[in-house]
Amino acid sequence: SWTTMISAFPEYALSLFHEMRMDGVYPNDITFVGLLHAIPLRNLVNKGRMIHGLCVKTGFMLELNVSNSLVSMYAKFELIADAVKVFEELQYRDIVSWNTLISGYDQNKLYQEAFGTFCSAVSESQPNEYTFGSVLSAIGSAEAISLRYGQRCHSHLLKLGLISNPIVSGALLDMYAKRGSLPESNMVFEEAIHKTQFAWTALVSAHARHGDYDTVMQIFKEMRNEGVNPDSITFLSMLTACGRKGMVDEGRQIWDSMIKDNLIEPSQEHYACMVDMLGRAGRLNEAEELISQIPGGPSFSALQSLLGACRTHGDLEMGRRLGDRLIEMDPEESGSYVQTSNMCAERGDWEKVAIIRRKMRERRVKKEVGFSWVDVGSTDGSLIMHGFSSDDTSHPKTTEIFQMAGCIGLEMKFLERERLKKSLVDIN
């Protein structure tokens, strides 16, 4: 049927829908669902709005699966306000409706909104594995949401008996990993009945993120021994591990395996990892040659990484080239000016330093202040984030803060002296 064809061939969905109407065949709700899922694949925003209008005109907005598909479509287009409007106009909401909106917020990096919607959802519907999958993703990505809420979800999942679900265990593992709780990540993985590719990848990424590169290599071996094929994210973690460990030859073998054996097309992130690996090893010419081979040109981060390597290994000529290229790519980004200027200053090229500083003045580029954050958990499990910078005096309790910092500094010095005394006694 026409509806089956539209669902099976999303790239031709619109033309098939047009032929269907020309043929005098009336669409049903499944037709519109297939169509609305196909439209974001080709980024056809206006066509999506037209189909929305047709759904209103033909009365299909009363079909919940059609309305849910519209929420999903708008979220994929990053038109979250439109997604929320469709959601709020629903006369009835099932758990799929809630899941779609929570996932939409998560996709658009609106993590607190995703968590707030989850809290509303559980008061009206029975959450399922997809509900928890989306909210755990949001909690893992948002430092402004206390990890305690993730732990509460974990407890809730145990009570509901959903913990063995592959979607849930993978999302839970990933959440703990992103929030720096490696013991919990390992525990969830060990207890998982079905160790999916996503779970293996999340575990590899967790240890890579925390610099435990020996474990990354070990997990990767176990993964291959279990017959689980790595995906692009697994390879990204492996390349990062090889780069940090200085294992360039092994990194190249993994790169070749990714392309030839696993038929994975390298992304900008993969190229940036390889450039970083070669740069750290001082193989700057190889890194620059690789940059010239990147389809569509190198990313800003890849060039910045190589510029940092030039500074470390003292290649001023290449560093100047890269610095000029970065400045032209993003004239308002202060880091490129500062990094290039510092490198030139270290090598005594004061003429180039003066040129860079003049460009910064002319373009009104200012060095960005680096901010740090402190996380203070309150008694109710909520999270309070305080941002501060060097010599920051904006807080109303600045005096007390500086006094406390001074006391902590003195205590650290005292403890260090005691440690040294103990070391000397042990030697004697």
Res 410 pLDDT > 90: no
Q: What is the mean pLDDT of the chain?
A: 88
Quick one: angle between helices 350-362 and 316-329, nearest 10? 10
Residue 99: the pLDDT is 97
Domains assigned to the chain: 195-265 (no CATH), 282-368 (1.25.40)
What mean pLDDT do residues 378-392 have? 54
Q: By percentage, how much of the chain surpasses pLDDT 90?
A: 61
Residue 353: the pLDDT is 87
What mean pLDDT do residues 138-166 have? 92
Spatial distance between the Cα atoms of 243 and 227, rounded to a whole number of angstroms: 25
Residue 376: the pLDDT is 56
Residue 362: the pLDDT is 86
Residue 404: the pLDDT is 85
DSSP-derived secondary structure letter, 42 = G
Res 12 pLDDT > 60: yes
Q: Which amino acid is it at 80? A: I
Please count the other Cβ atoms lying within 10 Å of the Cβ belonging to residue 61: 18
Res 122 pLDDT > 90: yes
Mean pLDDT lowest for which of 118-122, 191-195, 229-233? 191-195
What mean pLDDT do residues 41-66 have? 92
Residue 387: the pLDDT is 62
pLDDT band, very low/low/confident/very high, at 368 (cuts 50, 70, 90): low
pLDDT band, very low/low/confident/very high, at 365 (cuts 50, 70, 90): confident
Could you report the per-residue pLDDT of 72-113, keeping only the tens digit for each? Answer: 999 999 999 999 999 999 999 999 999 999 999 999 999 999
Nearest alpha carbon to residue 284 among 252, 253, 240, 319? 319
CA 33 to chain centroid: 29
Could you report the per-residue pLDDT of 273-307, keeping only the tens digit for each? Answer: 999 999 999 999 999 999 999 999 999 999 999 99
Spatial distance between the Cα atoms of 244 and 63, rounded to a whole number of angstroms: 53
Angle at the Cα of 110 (from 104 to 113), degrees rounded to 5?
A: 85
What mean pLDDT do residues 236-257 have? 92
pLDDT band, very low/low/confident/very high, at 416 (cuts 50, 70, 90): confident
CA 193 to chain centroid: 27
Residue 389: the pLDDT is 60
Token representation of residue 87:
């959601």
Higher pLDDT residue, 349 or 384?
349
The DSSP result for 251-283, as a single string, is HHHHHHIIIIIS-PPP-HHHHHHHHHHHHHTT-
Please name the residue ranges forming H helices in 179-299. 182-191, 197-209, 213-225, 232-245, 248-256, 268-280, 284-292
Token representation of residue 52:
């929305």
Res 214 pLDDT > 80: yes
